Amino acid sequence: MSGFELAMIGGPWQRRLRRRRGWIDRLPWREPLPDDPEARVAWTRTAFSEYASAAAFAEIAAAMLAAGAPIDLIAAAGDFIVDEIVHTEAAARIAAALGGAVALEVDLARLVRPPAGGAACDGALLRAAELVVRTACVGEALTVPMLKLARDTAGSPLIAAALAAIVGDEASHAQLGWWFLDWAAPQLDDAARAQLGRAAGGAIRAFAPLVGGSCRRSELGAVACERYDATLTQALPRAVVRPLALRGIAVPPADLAAVLGA
């Protein structure tokens, strides 16, 4: 375990990133924000979550390369790493504006849970498909409506503008999953689709602790519980379950019940 810290080395590498992160500097940073301990924790955790998403897309890009996926999909997955790193910086700066990021102890060697793999179809293809389902088809697909809700209820022009920029990227991240599955479809047999359904179910279960829990009122990028729960449970069938079902991938009912019945 180590402390979660961000740094830039500068020089040509910072200049290379400048075009992609320019919108962060254009946010209304002069807006006075309160020193809010709860919000500081939330935005520090958001920064780490975005950092972990960068690691997930790095794994996806590598897996797609091994599976011989279309090169434009591979390029998109690699490009999304940069999106997530920029989101990481934005979230960290918001935490600082709220009074400073909090200390987080993290294991950077375990940012992405390995896929189960299997011999139901080509191993590299199934590995890529499982990573894509977990990250894009579930994680990013459910994150988009939650970010839109947080943007609309932010109570801060600075935070609303940051969330608007982030949600624009995340929508493309979710779409990558469906394009990849449509390309891979002829190579996936029933056993592979069943495994992908279980992978989706596991990713959905990760949202269960967030439903019906204790949370703050709707402000500074956080969402009141009753609105969070309603938005998530409405989005799950529409944005995840039905698109997967159209591709022959069924989510186990018990995994759905863990969220919808919470």
Split into its structural domains, the chain has a count of 1
Would you say residue 70 lies in a domain? yes
* Dihedral of the alpha carbons of 259, 205, 190, 80, in degrees to the nearest 10: 110
Which residue's entry shows tokens 């999304």?
A: 80
The whole-number pLDDT of residue 218 equals 43
Distance separating alpha carbons of residues 162 and 169, to the nearest angstrom: 11
User: Ranked by mean pLDDT, which of 24-33, 206-215, 225-234 comes out on top?
Assistant: 24-33
**Residue 138 falls within a domain, yes or no?**
yes
| Between residues 227 and 5, the one the model is more confident about | 5
5 occurs within a structural domain: no
Residue 59 in tokens: 């794994």
- pLDDT band at 130; cut points 50, 70, 90: very high
Is the pLDDT at 96 greater than 50? The verdict is yes
Q: What is the pLDDT of residue 226?
A: 66
Greater confidence (30 vs 2) lies with: 30
Mean pLDDT of 89-117: 90
Q: How confident is the model at residue 220 (pLDDT cuts 50, 70, 90)?
A: low
What pLDDT is stored for residue 37 in this prediction?
87
- Contact between 65 and 57 under an 8 Å Cβ cutoff? The reply is no
* Band of pLDDT at residue 35, cut at 50, 70 and 90: confident
Closest CA to 188 of 115, 253, 118: 118
Q: Is the confidence at residue 225, as pLDDT, over 90? A: no
- Residue at 10 is within a domain: no
**Domain span including residue 191:** 33-104+120-260
**What value does the mean pLDDT take over residues 159-176?**
94
Here the CATH number for the domain that contains residue 209 is 1.20.1260.10
Pick from 28-37, 62-71, 88-97, 215-224: least confident: 215-224
d(C-alpha 30, C-alpha 90), whole Å: 15
User: Does residue 113 form part of some domain?
Assistant: no
Model pTM above 0.85: yes
Q: Is residue 13 part of a domain?
A: no
- 57: its two tokens: 């897309």
pLDDT digits (tens, 9 = 90+) for 6-28: 999 999 999 999 889 999 999 99
For a pLDDT cut of 90, what percent of the chain falls above it? 73
109 within a domain of the structure (yes/no): no
